[in-house]
Amino acid sequence: MPELEPLFLRACRGEAIERVPVWFMRQAGRSLPEYRKLRGEGSILEAIRSPELAAEITLQPVDRYGVDAAILFSDIVIPLVGIGIDIDVVPGRGPVIAEPFGTSADLRRLRPLEPEEDVPYVLETVRLLTERLGVPLIGFAGAPFTVASYLVEGGPSRDFVRTKALMHGDPPLWRLLLDRLADLAITSLRAQVDCGAGAIQLFDSWAGALSRADYERHVLPATRRVLEGLADLEVPRIHFGVGTGELLDLMAGAGAEVVGVDWRVPLDRARQRVGPEVVLQGNLDPAICLAGFEVAARETRRVLKEGGGRRHVFNLGHGVLPATDPEVLTRIVELVHRVSAESGADGER
């Protein structure tokens, strides 16, 4: 008799589930004392380049929380680092690009990624994890728009002024840039899956800064290219962004099985926008976890109720905040599992 697939993967495929699976974006990281101890003051890029270290960091929250999936410890700029773009990841700020992208001459710097040559450490980390993990590993990449925004702005941005100016001022160059970044994402994600990742997440974290018209015209085609370029791998694809309430229907049509939703949109409203088939991931407000477990528990129950118990992967609406008490997350995992099992997660029990 074939072994049942892990809960997380079945949930992502929209199959009947005995309870709602849970993992947390940025579950590995500064909120964990064991992470701070392991990392010390070292550079995050150095840690990512060290497979044993990166694998250990990836495993830490799985061991501690009992979550239903692991997510590779890496960064969305790693494929750019791999092809030789000069990037530093500055603590408390984010990626900083030495020479931002500005003209068609800069396209030359965006050569294709050769994973075994350019980012062998990522593949090695995935291989180590595939041996050691008892739950599926989520590989990931940055979506073309979000990666482009770092490249064009030179770092994190509030208003995305340069990015939008390029998008509107030179649409052919913008399209070429996004296509290159789509290829990078596809190549990186395929390699992660080849080495054992059981699902992938495409982070379009800042897509919510765009108007619907801009997203549909200037971003969606490249995102769709990434997701469709992975269809033959038959691993669940998760598509995530923050502040994307107005884009959810478009995102749901881009090809992923799972769409992430931040805490601004109640899941029952999100369901109306994405239709009955798509699986929703989310959407507890990460800041709520800092208000104590009693409050977090009440909000967790609300999220579970709005999620409807099926076609739902429980998560935060964005990453774990560094000041979060890990004990609260442990108890949330336990609560999600217990409540959703009791109420009959698949709605058929």
Q: Is 142 helix (H, G, I), strand (E, B) or coil?
A: strand
Are the C-beta atoms of 185 and 221 separated by less than 8 Å? no
Residue 165 interacts with its own copies (CB under 8 A): yes or no: yes
Residue 29 interacts with its own copies (CB under 8 A): yes or no: no
* 51-59, 80-88, 177-185, 286-294 -> range binding its own copies (CB under 8 A): 286-294
75 among known catalytic residues:
yes
DSSP 108: G
30 among known catalytic residues:
yes
Catalytic residue among 26, 49, 180, 273: 26
Are the C-beta atoms of 288 and 308 separated by less than 8 Å? no
DSSP 22: B
Residue 91 interacts with its own copies (CB under 8 A): yes or no: no
39 among known catalytic residues:
yes
Q: Least Å distance between CB 157 and its own copies?
A: 10
* Cβ contacts of 2 within 8 Å, gap of 6 or more: none
For 246, list phi and psi in degrees, rounded to 5. Answer: -80, -10
Q: Of 264, 301, 305, 331, which lies in the binding site for its own copies, with binding defined by CB under 8 A?
A: 264
Q: Least Å distance between CB 292 and its own copies?
A: 6
190 among known catalytic residues:
no
Half-sphere exposure of 70 (CA within 13 A, CB side): 29
Q: Which of 274, 243, 280 is nearest to 260 (CA)?
A: 280
Site for its own copies in 242-261 (CB under 8 A): 243, 245-246
Catalytic residue among 19, 64, 65, 150: 150
* 36-44, 113-121, 154-162, 331-339 -> range binding its own copies (CB under 8 A): 154-162
| 66 vs 100 by CB, closer to its own copies | 100
Site for its own copies in 205-244 (CB under 8 A): 208, 210-214, 243
Total chain residues near its own copies (CB under 8 A): 34
For every residue of 189-227, DSSP letters joined together read HHHHHHTT-SEEEEE-TTGGGS-HHHIIIIIHHHHHHHH
Q: Least Å distance between CB 274 and its own copies?
A: 15
Catalytic residue among 35, 65, 68, 75: 75
CA 156/CA 112 separation, integer angstroms = 24
216-to-86, 127, 225 alpha-carbon distances in Å: 31, 37, 13
Site for its own copies in 289-308 (CB under 8 A): 290-292, 295, 299, 302
Q: Least Å distance between CB 10 and its own copies?
A: 28
The sheet carrying 199-203 orders its strands as: 70-71, 137-142, 199-203, 237-240, 258-260, 279-284, 312-316
225 among known catalytic residues:
no
Catalytic residue among 10, 13, 30, 301: 30
The residues binding its own copies (CB under 8 A) are 159-161, 164-165, 167-169, 208, 210-214, 243, 245-246, 263-266, 269, 285-288, 290-292, 295, 299, 302, 321, 323
Q: Which residues are catalytic?
A: 26, 30, 39, 75, 150
